[in-house]
């Protein structure tokens, strides 16, 4: 961490957390710089910034949201995560019971749906992922950094039947 870069080669990520003092006044609770870390599949480096145990969130919960155990999505809660997708890498095809907001902070990413249809989302673009089967592909020579906000949601119902989750960690 002394090098000031993440395992992806991009800069460390700044996190500032606010809260309240004993008089109910706003204050800074913490501020840090942290690296994204390569995940076991080797296609991306990630950093969980914060989680909540519930939706709606409980602002009286003093747990450091980064310390809460979270998988890809947090059952009943929410997660904000930074993902550095490495050049010429792709995720497995997957579906989660969540609504996901992806904000491309640097570079560009290809979003492919289960039927092979794809689109490219460039820096500054926003993806609203609504429980669909999809994969991410970085087709460039540069790392793509995306902020993902994942909020638990019931499964999508097709003809009254819930579509099954297909989480990448189960592949």
Cα–Cα distance measured from residue 78 to residue 59, given in angstroms and rounded to the nearest whole number? 13
**Each residue of 133-159: pLDDT tens digit?**
999 999 999 999 999 999 999 999 999
Task: Give the model's pLDDT for residue 2.
Answer: 46
CB atoms within 10 A of CB 132: 14
Task: Give the model's pLDDT for residue 170.
Answer: 57
**Each residue of 98-112: pLDDT tens digit?**
999 999 999 999 999
Of the CA atoms within 13 Å of residue 70, those in its CB half-sphere come to 27
**Each residue of 86-95: pLDDT tens digit?**
999 999 999 9
39: CB partners within 8 A, 6+ apart = 45, 46
């Amino acid at each position: 961490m002394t090098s000031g870069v993440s395992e992806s080669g991009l800069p460390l990520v700044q996190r500032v957390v606010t809260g309240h003092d004993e008089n109910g006044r706003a204050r800074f609770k913490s501020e840090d710089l942290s690296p994204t870390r390569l995940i076991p599949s080797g296609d991306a480096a990630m950093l969980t910034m914060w989680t909540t145990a519930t939706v709606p969130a409980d602002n009286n919960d003093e747990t450091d949201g980064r310390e809460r155990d979270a998988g890809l999505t947090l059952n009943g809660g929410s997660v904000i995560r930074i993902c550095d997708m490495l050049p010429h890498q792709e995720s497995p095809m997957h579906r989660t019971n969540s609504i996901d907001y992806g904000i491309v902070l640097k570079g560009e990413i290809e979003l492919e749906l289960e039927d092979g249809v794809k689109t490219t989302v460039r820096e500054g673009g926003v993806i609203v992922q609504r429980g669909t089967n999809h994969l991410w592909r970085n087709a460039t020579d540069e790392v793509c950094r995306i902020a993902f906000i994942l909020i638990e949601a019931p499964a999508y119902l097709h003809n009254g039947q819930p579509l099954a989750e297909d989480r990448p960690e189960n592949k």
